[in-house]
Amino acid sequence: MSDQAPNLSEQEKEALKFLDRDFNQSFQQMRHYDAQIFDILKFTFAAYSALIGAALGLYQFGLKESKDLSLPAIAALSVGLILGLFMFALTIRNRVYFIQVARYINEQRGFFLKIKPMGFENLTRMYTNPKQPPYFNWRSSHSWLVYIVSGLNSSLLGCLVFILSSSWWKPAVVWSLILFVLQLLIAVAYLVSRENKSASRAVFGRE
């Protein structure tokens, strides 16, 4: 590359500098989205643990003291569930952002490696496919985090139904399973629908 550099025009040199900066910034952006998904899980887990414990504690205390404390417990769980569903949607959106940037990085890497700079063969076959990774991969770490967030939301709904149904656990289990499956179906359908689209259409829904 150094032998070819003097033959490059000023515009081409600036373009190479731009791609170099863009590649580095894209990597940082990809790490940001990855870290944000993990942060969402940590926040959700901590918040739900405290919320479920407080709500069930209030409910049990009310039963013990013959006081109706179900209303504040229901209100807390309802607000928590709304927040949890928002966090679930945010996790899915971050997955879309992550994939789009990862594919862009693969495209840039593939562009430079195809000329085998300095004889570099890429024997490890580092990612160069701009169509990879897929938006949905059930084995990816992001997918497992989505499963966990879905489970946390479902457990919150289960606690809510448990209190509303006067400590009857069967409807709580049923509604928890329904919400868990519904969340996953929506997430998978949305992610799969992002395939074979431009960045603008995949992220914003339009060009």
For residue 4, tell me if it sits in a domain. Answer: no
For residue 2, tell me if it sits in a domain. Answer: no
The mean pLDDT value for 126-130 works out to 93
Runs of H (alpha helix) within the chain: 10-64, 70-113, 141-164, 169-193, 199-204
For residue 155, tell me if it sits in a domain. Answer: yes
The mean-pLDDT minimum among 91-95, 103-107, 162-166, 176-180 falls in: 162-166
Reported as a single tens digit per residue, the pLDDT across 42-64 is 988 888 888 878 877 877 777 77
Instruction: Give residue 6's pLDDT.
Output: 54
Give the pLDDT band of residue 21 (cuts 50, 70, 90). very high
Tokens of 36: 């944000």
Which structural domain range is residue 39 located in? 12-204
Q: Annotate 10-45 with DSSP letters as a single string.
A: HHHHHHHHHHHHHHHHHHHHHHHHHHHHHHHHHHHH
**Rama region for 106: left / alpha / beta (φ>0; ψ in -120 to 50; rest):** alpha
C-alpha gyration radius of the chain: 24
In this predicted structure, the answer to whether residue 30 has a pLDDT above a threshold of 90 is yes
CA distances for 33 relative to 14, 24, 153, 175, 203, angstroms = 28, 15, 22, 31, 14
For residue 1, tell me if it sits in a domain. Answer: no
Reported as a single tens digit per residue, the pLDDT across 170-206 is 899 999 999 999 999 999 999 999 999 998 999 888 8
Give the pLDDT band of residue 135 (cuts 50, 70, 90). very high
The helix/strand/coil state of 198 is: coil
Task: Find out whether 135 and 191 touch, Cβ atoms under 8 Å.
Answer: yes
For residue 89, tell me if it sits in a domain. Answer: yes
Task: Find out whether 136 and 191 touch, Cβ atoms under 8 Å.
Answer: yes
Instruction: Give residue 137's pLDDT.
Output: 94
For residue 5, tell me if it sits in a domain. Answer: no
The mean pLDDT value for 113-140 works out to 91
The mean pLDDT value for 117-143 works out to 92
- Domain count within the chain: 1
> What does the alpha-carbon distance between residue 142 and residue 192 come to, in Å, rounded to a whole number?
14
In this predicted structure, the answer to whether residue 109 has a pLDDT above a threshold of 90 is yes
Name the nearest CA neighbour of 90 among 48, 138, 153.
153
Tokens of 121: 């063969």
CA distances for 90 relative to 94, 132, 178, angstroms = 6, 22, 21
For residue 31, tell me if it sits in a domain. Answer: yes
> What does the alpha-carbon distance between residue 88 and residue 150 come to, in Å, rounded to a whole number?
7
> What does the alpha-carbon distance between residue 152 and residue 47 come to, in Å, rounded to a whole number?
10
For residue 7, tell me if it sits in a domain. Answer: no
Give the pLDDT band of residue 2 (cuts 50, 70, 90). very low
